[in-house]
Structure formats: structure tokens, C-alpha cells
Amino acid sequence: MKKFFALCLMLFAALILTNCAKEESVAPVVANDFVVYADLGATRTVADGYQTSWVTGDNLNIFHAPAGESTYVSDGEFTLTNAELGTFEGQVSSLAGNSYDWYAIYPYSSYNTTPARAGYMTIAAQTQTQAGDNNTAHTGEAPLYGVIKGGSAAAPEFSMKHLSSMIKVNVTNTLDEAVSIKSILVETQQTRISGTYYVDITGAVPTYESSGDSYTFNSVTLNVTGGGKIQPEASASYYLTICPFAVAVGQSEKLTVTVTDMSDEVSVREYTIPAGKRFAAGKVTTLNFDFAADAETSWTTIADIHAADAEGIYNIQNATVVVKMAKSCLLKDATGYLYSYQNLDVAVGDVINLRNAQTSTYGKRQIKSGAEVEKIGTTTVTHPTATNIADGAAFDALATSFSVGDYISVDASKITVGNYINFYVDGATYKGSLVAPVEDISQFNNQAVRITGYAGYAGYVASSTYFYLFMTDIQYVEHFLTPTTTSLSWSATDLTAKTVAITTDVDWTVTSAPSWVTAEHTNTTTLTVTPTENKGAERVDNIVLTHTQDANVQAVITVVQGASEATIDPNASYYTKVTTAPADWSGNYLIVYEVDTSNGCMFNGADAASNNAEVVIRANTIEVSDATEENEIIIAPLNSGYSLQVTPKNKNMADYYMSGQAGSNKIVFMASPQLNTLEMEGGAITITSNTSVFAFNNNSNNMRFRYFKPATVSGNSTNFVKPALYKRVN
């Protein structure tokens, strides 16, 4: 879509696949927005309007709800069919009344499932590009919306509006020579003005919800390509879309504009936005900017400092203090986090500029000395959601590969508080160390704790095994249960018992373990695990340990056993597992309940408890034996299904056929073929007869195959399991 900003054209949506007659629509005049007062004198702002046009390929989301209700129906994607008329076509469902509220969003996205929280969508990109001076073509991708309240069931006509606001920077060259503009940076002190948001268009005005601190930003950069030269005393205009916002009563906002020319000279202006003023959706706020190259500070982002090839002296702008330690702090800008070893005179929430900050490399790049602090504001610091590090392997992995500022919580079995504050994670090679916190935490000495904070750096020499954390919170861990390893493995024939040391405050139990291992709880400090021989494919499962006083405290140990090297004799007869539905189910089969990948129980033709016989499964095959041949079933076509013929057990007949009985749990044996249907569901087979479903009851006092009532065999049942079929191959 190639549109100009600020729309005011009628959109005809052919919701029922009908055409609408062309009607004239006039773009309304957009009223003046508001005045921005600058420190260099009053700068008046105006609102401009630009025509919008649709082009081939445009599409949008349509929603509707009964008038006045919030039961929104998504009508999905509507596609432009007539650019001149602005006609979009698609399908509408659930139209049963006469009056509806209609909603439209451009551009279409599958993430737009409701007009009450559409998105996430990019309201304004953090980096934008304008091709030449006075050009608004790049704003054509700005999102649009339309609302009709109390409309009819006929094709609605939307007057589309912008979801973005726009800043027009009108640059006047006050130098004696021509300049060409390279880029324009617009930054706010605390308001996020770019990135992705969830949007609610159902109210009087759209509302915007950030999709996360990592996806919304306090700045927009406009890069200018192919611009001409602005002659002395002449002007040119540059356009940046932003997310709409208003300055709350009792607050103010500072907006900094930095204009850079092609020789990398900059001109900086700061505008103070008073309380109650707003950058509204669909409005264009003009900032009149006199370009005069300033002898301004050259600023470097925190990301650039980390990426630099060597240490250096840097100036850092708009950095927020997120953690204050006893003699240090952690800073954050829009690009990342930086540790200051230098003790800065700051507090958490201070927004500062730093000049002449000398860096050093001490595990990770940081500020060493020389920084001059300029406090430019304050803000509320909100920490991100912490990633929990619960075992030694995860802690070591973090210590060897992390980014400064990763926000984590660590379960430590012990903390020692002295000249240095160290903490220990069971099973970890690295030791944790807290960068001297402001508060006294001696009450936690020798206690199990959960520490939350920001990753700082790892050691300062090659041999160091310390990982440093900037603490934001510390809590006692009342109950803990930590194994020294979280995985055990064996070969197929290795039956060695292996032990795992357990650290805990009280007792625990083994609450879950696979059938092919014994997991013995010999005491509170030791788990012993012994496998059985694996005669089939590789098997992987979990052992779960649960704290006896707190069921929410668990430990999981993964057990792995390699595949059996035994193979099926190529000259032998065998059965192979049915994994996809055949066109014809005819053949000789075993009906099997799979205990695991190497063991199973086959149906032996009786309707009684324990009506099964063990079989060995190897790589989805079962060898033919006297026992399997005795228990084969023959599946043959019958009307619109199949018959299941079994070898008689204690019956006075040569052969007989199986069926279910509606409303009962039983197998009915008949002398004549009985109708069954077979369907594949995952790796299991659904055999149905007279509405009953064939399954295996694995309760220890039953262990039987039979037909069960459908309600008994549900998709979530663990005691009534649909069987697998193994077909005889040769």
C-alpha cells in the first residue's frame, strides 16, 4: 500500500459480496492540534491533512457485534476489489439482527482477532526512512481503523481514520551555506512512542497497550535518503509517525529533536510539552526547527559501548538507574544495560546524562571512572519478569553465556554474608556473588534463599568462577528439593544402578517414574535408579520427586536408555505396527496395548479379567510365534465396515466374530460376521461396534480388553486406552 498520511476517505466494504454505487466523499479539515512551548521561544503547532488512496493488494480485518454489545465476531480478511470505489470484499457470518456495530482495521493481520484488543501491531516503527525532502510517501503503511455504531446489516461505509499520530519537523537552515539532512531523532523523556501495541478501537477513542518493554521505545529515528540541499533561510519538511499519547494532568514531558546533516554535524532542540496536551491519532504536529550546527556532545548508546572493539571514553544520554548498590549502580538506556563500577551520586529512577565516562573490561564492559553526571529527570523503574534458574547446570550455562541486564531469579541452597556476599547453587561450578547491596542482608546468612536481580559480569581473570548479580530482591526459601543432576542415561543392556544426591530441608517421595526403571528412595539424601533391559527403540521419560510438606516443590530427573541393538531376523515372520490408516484394513492382526516402546499386551480372544498375553516390541515390530498365531484376529470387509474374526476360547464353534453391545461394557461373540468400523487417531486405533469402543482397562484388578461405552473411553482417559494394531507382514 502506498498511502499518504492522514486519511479522510470513505471505505466501502462489500460485506455480502455485492457492489456499492460510487459516492462522493470529502476529506474533512483537521482542526489545529495544540501549541508546544520550547525553551527557545514559543513554537506553534498545526495539523495538516493529506489524501489517502487505496491500491491493489490492500486488505483489512472486519469485525461486527450486535449494536451496543461486546460479543465481537471476527469476519476475517477483506480484500480490495475496486480501488476507485474503495470496495473491499469478504465473508460475514452470524448476521441475525437488524442493527450492528462494525469495525475495520488496516492492514489485515491474523493476530487481529477482536477489535477490543487487536494486534500486536506496529503503530510506529522505531526506525523510519523518508525518500527526499517534503515527502510523505513513507507514512503510507501507518495503520488505520474505522467504526460504525448502530449500522445495518447491509454493506457498511467506513470513514477510515489513522491509529498513528505524526510529527512534522519543519527544518529551516539558518547557516550561510546549504545543508543536506541525514537523519532526525525524536526522543521523549519517559513516554514510549514507537513499537508494537495491542489496540482497542471499541471506545470513543482508540487506546493502546504496550506489547512489552522490549517491543516499545522512547524514540523514533527518521533516516533521509536522496534529500536535496536546503539553501540558507530555506526550509524542508520531514515526517515521523508515532504512537498517540497525552501528557497527564500534573505532569509534563520533554521532547528532544536532534537533526544531523550529511557531514554528521548536529543541531539539538528540547521542547517541553505541558500537562493536558496530546499527540492525537490522525493529527500532525508541526515542530518548527532552526538548524544551526551545535558544538553538541557526541552521544553513544550502551549497546555500542558493549560492541566496541576496545575500551574508551563515552558520553551516554537518557540512562535510567535501575539498581543502586552500596558503591555502584546498573544503568539502562533504550539499547541495553551497563554496570558502573564508579560510585555515581544517583538513586534508583534517576534519568541521567553521563559525559566522559571511561570504560574498562572486567568480565564485561563497564564504567570505570571519570563520568560526570547530569540529572535530567526521574521515572518509575519497573523490573521485567525474572527467568528462574533452579539448578546448577542452568546456572553454569548462564555464567558462560549471558547479556548484562538479564533479569533472573536464582534458587540458592546457601548464602554466606561477610566481607563478600556469596551464594551457592547445588551442582554448579560457578559461585554466585552479590555486588554489595545497599541493605544489610546478614539475617540470610547460611539460609536457603531465592535471589532476584540483574546479571552483571563473570569474574575478572580467566580462572575466576564467580558470577556477579545485582540484587533487587531476596527471600527465604522455606522448602527446597534439589538433585545434583537432572538426567541419567544407560545403554540398552546396561542395568547399572545409579544414584543421585538430593538436597532438601525435609523428606520427599517419588511420585512418578516410568515402568522400565525402579526408583528407590533410600533416604532423604539419595535416589537410586535401576533400569531394565531395553529390547526396543530408545526410550526417554521423567522421574518426578515431590516435597512431602509442599506439593508445589518438585524436582524432575530425565532418564534415557538407548535402543536395543537386536534386530528382527529378515527371514522371520513378523507383525508391524499400523501408523497410518490403510485404504483396506483386511489382514491378520494382533490387537496390542502398548505398555511402552518395548513391551505390550495382546488380546487373547476372551472377555475376562487378565485377558492378555505379553509381547516384546522391537522398533514397532513383533515376531511371529505360536502364542501370537493363536491370538491373531482376521479383519475382513463387511458392508460399510469390517468384521473381526477371532480364534475360539472355550467355545463350541470353529470360529466366531466380535461385536459390542450399545450401552454395555462387554464383548458379544457371534457365529456370523458382525459390523465394526476402524479409524486411526494418532498412534491408536478406534474400533467401534454398536456405538461401543474397543479399549484396554489397565486398572490392576482388571487388565482386560473389551468394548466399553463411549463415555468411558474419553480422549483424556488414562485407564481405558485404545489399542494399537500390528499387521502380519509375512
Task: Count the neighbouring beta carbons within 10 Å of the beta carbon of residue 209.
Answer: 13
- In whole angstroms, what is the distance from residue 672 CA to residue 651 CA? 14
Q: Is the confidence at residue 323, as pLDDT, over 90?
A: yes
Contacts 24+ apart (CB under 8 A), 636-639: 636/586, 636/673, 637/584, 637/586, 638/673, 638/674, 638/675, 638/676, 639/675
Task: For 152-273, list the strands marked E by DSSP.
Answer: 157-159, 161-162, 165-173, 181-188, 194-200, 207-210, 216-217, 219-225, 235-242, 245-246, 253-261, 266-273
CB atoms within 10 A of CB 640: 7
- For 342, other C-beta atoms within 10 Å of its C-beta total 18
Contacts by residues 208-215 (CB-CB < 8 Å, ≥ 24 positions apart): 208/123, 208/243, 208/244, 209/117, 211/119, 211/120, 213/382, 213/384, 214/384, 215/120
Task: Please enumerate in sequence order all residues whose Cβ is within 8 A of that of 192, keeping only pairs 6 or more positions apart, or say none.
Answer: 210, 216, 217, 218, 243
Residue 714: predicted pLDDT: 76
Query: Residue 70 in contact with residue 116, Cβ under 8 Å?
Result: yes
Which one, of 323, 322, 319, lies nearest residue 355 by Cα?
319
Q: In the chain, what are the domain boundaries?
A: 10-291, 302-378, 387-476, 481-561, 574-728
- What tens digit of pLDDT does each residue of 348-376 get? 999 999 988 999 888 889 999 989 898 98
What whole-number distance in Å separates Cα of residue 473 and Cα of residue 338?
A: 19
Cβ neighbours, 10 Å, residue 386: 18
Average pLDDT over residues 211-231: 91
pLDDT at 29: 28
302-378 and 387-476 share one CATH topology? yes
Q: Which fold would CATH assign to domain 387-476?
A: OB fold (Dihydrolipoamide Acetyltransferase, E2P) (2.40.50)
Q: What is the CATH number of domain 302-378?
A: 2.40.50.140
pLDDT at 298 over 90: no
| Stated pTM of the model | 0.40
pLDDT at position 378, please? Answer: 92
* pLDDT value of residue 647: 78
Return the half-sphere exposure (C-beta side, CA atoms, 13 A cut-off) of residue 130. 28
Q: Which of the residue ranges 265-274, 455-464, 480-489 would you say has the lowest mean pLDDT?
A: 455-464
- Taking domain 481-561, whether its CATH number is 3.40.50.80 is answered by no
The dihedral built from the CA positions of residue 4, 5, 9 and 10, taken in this order, carries a sign that is positive
Mean pLDDT, residues 98-122 taken together = 92
Assess whether pLDDT exceeds 80 at residue 560. yes
Q: Which helix (H) or strand (E) holds 202?
A: none
Question: DSSP letters of 350-413?
Answer: EEEEEEEEEEEEESEEEEEE-PEEEEEEE------PPEEE-SHHHHHHHHHS--TT-EEEEEES
**For residue 247, which of 275, 266, 215 has the smallest C-alpha distance?**
275
pLDDT (tens digit per residue) in 386-441:
888 878 888 988 888 888 999 998 988 889 998 889 999 888 889 999 988 888 99
CATH 2.80.10.50 matches 574-728: yes
Q: What is the pLDDT of residue 350?
A: 94
| Distance (Å, whole) CA 64 – CA 93 | 9
Reply yes or no on whether the pLDDT at 36 is more than 90.
Answer: no
Mean pLDDT score of the chain, rounded to an integer? 84
Residue 586 has pLDDT above 90, yes or no: yes
Q: SS3 for 448-497, per residue?
A: CEEEEEEEEEECCCCCCCEEEEEEEEEEECCCCEEECCCEEEECCCCCCC
Listed in sequence order, the residues at least 6 apart from 113 whose beta carbon sits closer than 8 Å to its beta carbon are: 74
pLDDT (0 to 100) of residue 708: 92
pLDDT tens column, 461-473: 556 788 999 999 9
Picking from 34-43, 159-168, 227-236, which range would have the lowest pLDDT averaged per residue? Answer: 34-43
Provide the grid cell at 38.
520550547
Question: What are the tens digits of pLDDT across the range 332-346?
Answer: 999 999 999 999 999
What's the mean pLDDT in 474-494?
A: 84
Say which residues have a Cβ less than 8 Å from residue 430's Cβ, sequence separation at least 6: 395, 396, 399, 458, 465, 466, 467
Mean pLDDT of 518-541: 88
Tell me, what amino acid is at 588?
Answer: N
The predicted pLDDT at position 295 comes to 53
How high is the pLDDT of residue 9? 29
Quote the pLDDT of residue 427: 84
pLDDT higher than threshold 70 for residue 50: no
- Which residues touch 16 (CB under 8 Å, ≥6 apart)? 92, 154, 155
Residue 294 pLDDT class (50, 70, 90 cuts): low
Indicate the pLDDT class of residue 49, thresholds 50, 70 and 90.
very low
pLDDT category, 550, cuts 50, 70, 90? confident
For 523, residues 6+ apart whose C-beta sits below 8 A from its C-beta are none
Is the Cβ–Cβ distance between 294 and 258 less than 8 Å?
A: no
Q: What percent of the chain has pLDDT over 70?
A: 89
Q: Which residues, listed in sequence order, are joined to residue 249 by a DSSP beta bridge?
A: none
Question: Does residue 715 surpass a pLDDT of 70?
Answer: no
Residue 46 scores a pLDDT above 50: no
